[in-house]
Structure 1
Amino acid sequence: MNGLYALKPWYADRLSGLRRALAARQVSPDTLTAAGVVCAAGAAAALAWLPAPPAALLVAVLLAGRLAFANLDGALARDTGRTTRRGALLNELGDRAADLLVIAGFLPLAPLWLVAAAAFATTLPSWVSLAGTAAGAPRRNGGPVGKTERCLLAVVAAASGWAVPVLAVVAAGSAVTAVVRALWVWRALGQPETAVARERVVATKRAMATERDVASEKPVVRAAEPASSAPRRRPSPSPSPSPSSSPTLGSLPCEHDRSLPLDPGEVSGGITHTRSQSPADRGTRLRGAR
Structure 2
Amino acid sequence: MNGQMGQGLGLYALKPWYAGRLAGALGWLARRRTSPDAVSATGIAAGAAAGAALAWLPGPGAFAGLVVAALLAARLACANLDGALARETGRTTRRGAVLNEVSDRAAELAAFAGCLALADARLVALAALAATLPSWVALAGAAAGAPRVQGGPVGKTERCLGLVVIAFTGWAVPVLALLAAGSAATAGLRLARVWRALGTP
**Normalization by structure 2: what TM-score?**
0.93
Aligned-partner SS, 1:107: helix
- Is 1:31 the equivalent of 2:38? yes
In the TM superposition, what are the counterparts of 1:105-124 in structure 2 within 5 Å? 105-124=114-133
- After superposition, what is the alpha-carbon deviation per residue over 1:85-125, rounded to whole angstroms, capped at 9, x for unaligned? 00000001001101111111100111111011111101111
- The amino acid across from 1:5 in the alignment is Y
Q: Which 4+ residue blocks in structure 1 deviate beyond 3 angstroms? A: none
Instruction: Tell me how far apart the structure 1 counterparts of residues 49 and 181 of structure 2 sit (CA, whole Å).
Output: 25
Instruction: Tell me how far apart the structure 1 counterparts of residues 21 and 128 of structure 2 sit (CA, whole Å).
Output: 31
In the TM superposition, what are the counterparts of 1:1-290 in structure 2 within 5 Å? 1-50=8-57, 51-53=59-61, 54-190=63-199
Aligned-partner SS, 1:136: coil
Partner of 1:254: none
Partner of 1:262: none
- The amino acid across from 1:170 in the alignment is L
Kindly name which structure, 1 or 2, has the bigger radius of gyration based on alpha carbons.
1
Partner of 2:4: none
Aligned-partner SS, 1:2: coil
Give the drift of 1:44.
0.5
- The amino acid across from 2:48 in the alignment is A
- After superposition, what is the alpha-carbon deviation per residue over 1:41-96, rounded to whole angstroms, capped at 9, x for unaligned? 01001111111102000000000000001100000111111000000000010011
Q: Superposition RMSD on alpha carbons, in Å?
A: 1.2
Q: Which has the higher helix share?
A: 2
Over 3 Å counting, the alpha-carbon distance change for 1:163 and 1:5 in structure 2 is: same
Instruction: Tell me how far apart the structure 2 counterparts of residues 98 and 73 of structure 1 sit (CA, whole Å).
Output: 13
- The amino acid across from 1:162 in the alignment is W
Tell which has more relative contact order, 1 or 2 (C-alpha 8 A, sep 6+).
2
- After superposition, what is the alpha-carbon deviation per residue over 1:138-182, rounded to whole angstroms, capped at 9, x for unaligned? 001111100000000100110011011111011111100000000
Uncovered stretches (5+) of structure 2, i.e. residues with no partner: 1-7
Give the drift of 1:2.
3.3
Q: Check whether the contact 1:145–1:174 (CA below 8 A) recurs between aligned residues.
A: yes
Instruction: Tell me how far apart the structure 1 counterparts of residues 17 and 10 of structure 2 sit (CA, whole Å).
Output: 14
Aligned-partner SS, 1:52: coil
Uncovered stretches (5+) of structure 1, i.e. residues with no partner: 192-290
Alignment size in residue pairs: 192
Partner of 1:222: none
Percent identity for Structure 1 against Structure 2: 66
**Normalization by structure 1: what TM-score?**
0.65
Instruction: Tell me how far apart the structure 1 counterparts of residues 183 and 148 of structure 2 sit (CA, whole Å).
Output: 17
